[in-house]
Structure 1
Amino acid sequence: MCILYLQRYLRTVLSYFLPRLILFLSFIDLFFHFTTIARFAELLKSSSYMIGVIVAIYSISNFAGNLISGIILDRWGRILPVKFGLFLSSVTVGSYYFVNSVMQLFILRLLHGISSSVLVPGAYAIIGDILKNKNHGSVMGITGAIIAFSAILGSLSAGLISEFISVRFVFIVDALMLLLGFCFLLIYSRNLEQYNVLAYDKESFAKSSSSLFDALKKKLIISYISIFLMSIGVGLLVGRLPLLFEDNDMYRGISFTIYAIVALFVMISPIVKKLNKINLIVFGLFSLSLSFLIIGFNTNDFIWIFIGMVIFGLGYGSLFPSVTSIVSENTDKFIRGKSYGILYACYSGGVVVGSNYPALLEYLFGNNSLNIGFEFYLAFAILLFSGLLIYRFSKTNNYV
């Protein structure tokens, strides 16, 4: 009896572990490249313009891939597309090691964005299938904390490997981790069958033939808009914080680590389990807006920037598990893949917008006509106004 109980318990643990492993590897991969890809492009003698293009093409192709992968996940099941995505991503990332030209790097970045686009929506769709009527907030909070931990570990590891070995070796480590994840999923994916995780059959293909518009319920739209706004903030920080810290790599690393650690602790706290998800989203947007106001007023004061990053982490930690919980709770398994595909496409699109809109402002108004903190003030206003609109919309529809 005890042995049977232990076996059942281990199968349950493994079933939650598999999609979380996929998310961990996906975000480790993402933050490995956040840290190293611009430097690698520079080593290949890329121009400043091409470095920007090479950084952006991953998110652009990932955005398109997310939308398509959502349909694939609902039609062909979760496991097969995720296996394919892990394997192709490991091959693509491993190929970075052999790159000798800017064009080769551009092509690989394009393929990498497409191949990895199925991983995050697929992992979240698997978790949603497993959860059914269980506490979505608690599980999504822990899952979000794993992502925050991968952000810390990915940035730190990539920096150390590139500093003490080489930038190219970062890609080998990344590829091996993705390949190990593929092998692990290949061996243990049968454990997911007991939870009725969507697999490829005639029923799933027929029922999932609906369009992306079926994943556009009112409450889901709140999640999509909120994560888009949040990721604009992430993109803004990725693009502008290095300029504020100039050549001080240590402070830049500390600032991102601060926000990730704060977000991690918020995600594993009882807050995300007990409070209304819409209230957490609104609180998250207000916190993000406040963080940008603080940073905008104190662009030359590192202490205040760190305080701003603490508040940003508080907002991120409140918002991220809430939007993923709403999608999980308000979809059935035949549109869940599409919904998470749209959600993560909004994330990718927001990062692109956030990292590039300051350059657009400079182009439109000129470098000298804008205060150095103007992009942060604008982000503050947009996030604050959006939070108020979402709260008003939610009150009107009795979501809070």
Structure 2
Amino acid sequence: MILIYIIIAVAFIDTFSQLPIIAPFAIELGANPLLVGIIIGMYSFSNMLGNLLSGVWIDRIGSKRILYVGMLTVGVIIFFYSMVSNAYELLVIRFFHGMAGGLIVPAAFTFLGSRGERAENGRTMAYSGAGVGIAAIAGPAIGAIVSGRFGYNLLFYFISSLMIVFGVLAAVFLREKSKLRTSAVKHNTLPKLKELVPAYLSIFLLMYTLGLLTYLLPLKVIDLNLFTELTGILLSVFGLVAILIFVFPTNRVFDQWNKPRLMKSGLIVISIALLYLAVAVTLSHMVISMVIYGIGFALIFPSASGTVIERTREKERGKAFGLFYAFFSLGVICGSFSAGVFSFIPAYQFVIGAMFVLFTLSTYTIVAMLWKR
């Protein structure tokens, strides 16, 4: 089980390590601002397609095979970053990188869901969330430090080697449960899909707000005349808070408490964090808001992913997690895109983001109540 948690962290380090360097790398290759934005967004777009394909293939041939094939493929593709000579070649590489990367995470979480005890899937997902949190903190630092001191190519070689090494380890040491009988009777997935809507909606809204933060937090820091380097520290604050909740005995709440209520509570908490960010005028205010956001993040992620395990049969879990991470990627795209489209000051955009989350949550709650009646 420890190996799969490490693999999840490595998979997300691949993504997070490129956040601070892909824009300057594209500019260095001659990309104009519009093309830089397309290059950045291309990964998330193709990653979403990869998530959907991964879900279908996992249920057909098993999560382990998709997991190690995805990691090995990503390792090879990242190597080609070091060989691009212009921005359009980089755009093509980003497309295939996102597509192959989209295979990995649904496979890893499907594998994890099939190994853990069903009654403890919340804690299992909390530990996996800690892996994501560690990657969110370590990834950007690795990308910035290695590329800054030794150049972009060494970073690409390092991440490529990391993916290939752990892809081989996954192929050799992970043990998948025996395959389900192919003669199993088909069943209607519509009721299951309806039960998964809260998880999909929650992860979409969570990543929507994270997309907003990624775009707007540096602008907020500049507005307050603070050092731009504080942006990374502030993002690390919410990651550390989430990790502590994930690994401490507090993770028991994810199995003892009602998951839909945890997700709703988490969405309300991150909305409060955005509203507090909007009115923040000092660094301490911003730190408090990121602590609040970290609590909300910690309430949502394990509850949403645990719901996918809880509400699906094993033979359909791959598709369920494929859709889950497609909404994950779509949320990031929508959050960063909406922040870029509207030219309001960051404070107004944080308020709009919080209102969007609360309005969507309220609308879904009312519709669900009417549907039950």
Give the TM-score normalised by the residue count of structure 1: 0.86
Residue 165 of structure 1 is matched in structure 2 by: 150
Q: Aligned-pair distance for 1:393?
A: 6.0
Q: Distance in 1 between matches of 2:187 and 2:253?
A: 36
Residue 351 of structure 2 is matched in structure 1 by: 377
2:288 pairs with 302, 307, 320, which one? 307
Q: Aligned-pair distance for 1:123?
A: 0.6
- Secondary structure at 1:100's aligned position in 2? coil
Q: 1:98-113 to 2 correspondence within 5 Å?
A: 98-113=83-98
Amino acid at match of 1:173: F
Percentage of identical aligned residues = 27
Q: Aligned-pair distance for 1:217?
A: 2.5
Residue 232 of structure 1 is matched in structure 2 by: 208
Residue 95 of structure 1 is matched in structure 2 by: 80
Q: 1:127 to 1:208 in 2, by over 3 A?
A: farther
1:337 aligns with 2:318: yes
Amino acid at match of 2:234: S
Q: Distance in 1 between matches of 2:4 and 2:234?
A: 29
Q: Distance in 2 between matches of 1:19 and 1:160?
A: 26
- In structure 2, list runs of 5 or more residues that go unmatched: none
Residue 124 of structure 1 is matched in structure 2 by: 109
Residue 223 of structure 1 is matched in structure 2 by: 199
Worse-superposed segment, 23-32 or 380-389: 380-389
Residue 347 of structure 1 is matched in structure 2 by: 328
- Secondary structure at 2:85's aligned position in 1? coil
1:74 aligns with 2:59: yes
Residue 65 of structure 1 is matched in structure 2 by: 50
Amino acid at match of 1:333: E
Q: 1:1-400 to 2 correspondence within 5 Å?
A: 16-189=1-174, 192-193=175-176, 195-196=177-178, 198=179, 203-204=181-182, 214=190, 216-246=192-222, 248-268=227-247, 269=250, 270-298=252-280, 301-362=282-343, 370-391=344-365
Q: Distance in 2 between matches of 1:43 and 1:315?
A: 38
Q: 1:273 to 1:95 in 2, by over 3 A?
A: same
Contact 2:216 2:346 in 1 (8 A): no
- Secondary structure at 1:135's aligned position in 2? helix
- Secondary structure at 1:334's aligned position in 2? helix
Q: 1:180 to 1:33 in 2, by over 3 A?
A: same
Worse-superposed segment, 220-229 or 380-389: 380-389
Q: 1:48 to 1:186 in 2, by over 3 A?
A: same
- Secondary structure at 2:18's aligned position in 1? helix
Q: Distance in 2 between matches of 1:208 and 1:295?
A: 51
Q: Distance in 2 between matches of 1:302 and 1:44?
A: 36
- Secondary structure at 2:315's aligned position in 1? coil
- Secondary structure at 1:35's aligned position in 2? coil
Contact 1:35 1:159 in 2 (8 A): yes
CA RMSD of aligned residues (A): 2.2
Q: Distance in 1 between matches of 2:210 and 2:191?
A: 25
- Per-residue CA deviations over 1:286-342 (Å, capped at 9, x if unaligned) read 1110111111223x5333222211111110011000000000011111110000000
Q: Distance in 2 between matches of 1:258 and 1:181?
A: 28
Q: Distance in 1 between matches of 2:345 and 2:300?
A: 29
Q: Aligned-pair distance for 1:250?
A: 2.1
Give the TM-score normalised by the residue count of structure 2: 0.92
- Per-residue CA deviations over 1:222-260 (Å, capped at 9, x if unaligned) read 100110010001111111222223483420110110010
Q: Distance in 2 between matches of 1:386 and 1:293?
A: 16
Amino acid at match of 1:331: T
- Secondary structure at 1:373's aligned position in 2? helix
- In structure 1, list runs of 5 or more residues that go unmatched: 1-15, 363-369
Q: Aligned-pair distance for 1:265?
A: 1.3
